[in-house]
Structure 1
Amino acid sequence: MGLFSQLKDKFFPGQSSLDPESNWTVTVTDTSINTTEPKNGSHSLLISELEDVLIATNDSGPIGIDLWWILRGNGKVILVPGGATGEKEMLNTLQKLSGFNNTEVIRAMGSTDNAEFLLWKKS
């Protein structure tokens, strides 16, 4: 076992991936978006309840999680880190929302600043 693997096992025991974002899981059904966080349990939001979708970026990468999806609706907020398991499927579903702004997704993915990008807002 190499030094890097030993350090990973010491500081992140039981973590199967070097990317902590992959420990978040997001699943999408026809009617809801569901997340499971490593320490905060499960959360769910009906797609019909979505009010807006944002991406927040920060300057903590590559050591920290530097991109977060923010899904808000019905008084709930769901946070999903970029790189979460199931992120691609979530994006595919969000892109079906009328008026979803793919240009802002691209801008957000390239950002290394502390910024928010509004991708969609219920009209």
Structure 2
Amino acid sequence: MTVWDWVEACFSPQPSAAVTCDNEGVSLAFTRRRVVRIAWRDLVRVAIETNDRGPFEEDVFFVLETDDNRVAIPQSFSGTDSLISYLGDHLPGFDFGPMIAAMASTDNQEFVCWEKQAD
């Protein structure tokens, strides 16, 4: 592997990693064999986690939590742009302010964008 190959691999999304959204929820294909499905109604919390390892390692993650699962989605996954749109459309009170702050962060931090309100 050349230095250029290594640099390109650091900045290229994994070809098999993808996020797809529909009106029912979000599907996360980490590999062809590992797919996770989360229904919008099951979400209890959405956050963004950042770390200080960028730019040569993944440093921004969308974190989706249910009562019994927590999934961190790297920003480099294909489809994260549509995920952001769906989160804003399907989660009443979703706050884009913390998301904007997260994109400027170079520290190890968590930014909560939405939490389910108690019924």
TM tier relative to shorter chain: 0.7 to 0.9
Kept in 2: contact 1:45–1:76 (CA 8 A): no
Kept in 2: contact 1:22–1:83 (CA 8 A): no
- 1:77-92 to structure 2, matched below 5 A, reads 77-92=70-85
Pick from 41, 59, 64: which aligns with 2:52?
A: 59
The percent identity for this pair of structures is: 27
For 2:72 and 2:3, how far apart are their aligned partners in 1? 30
- Gaps of at least 5 residues in structure 2 are none
- The offset of 1:74, in angstroms, is 3.2
Distance change in 2, residues 1:21/1:69 (3 Å):
farther
TM-score for the superposition, normalised by structure 1: 0.82
Which residue is equivalent to 2:100?
Answer: 106
User: Which structure 1 residue ranges, 4+ long, deviate > 6 Å from structure 2?
Assistant: none
Give the greater-gyration-radius structure (CA).
Answer: 1
Amino acid at match of 1:115: Q
Q: How many residues align?
A: 114
1:70 aligned onto 2:63: yes
TM-score for the superposition, normalised by structure 2: 0.85
- Gaps of at least 5 residues in structure 1 are none
For 1:79 and 1:72, how far apart are their aligned partners in 2? 9
Pick from 109, 112, 116: which aligns with 1:118?
A: 112
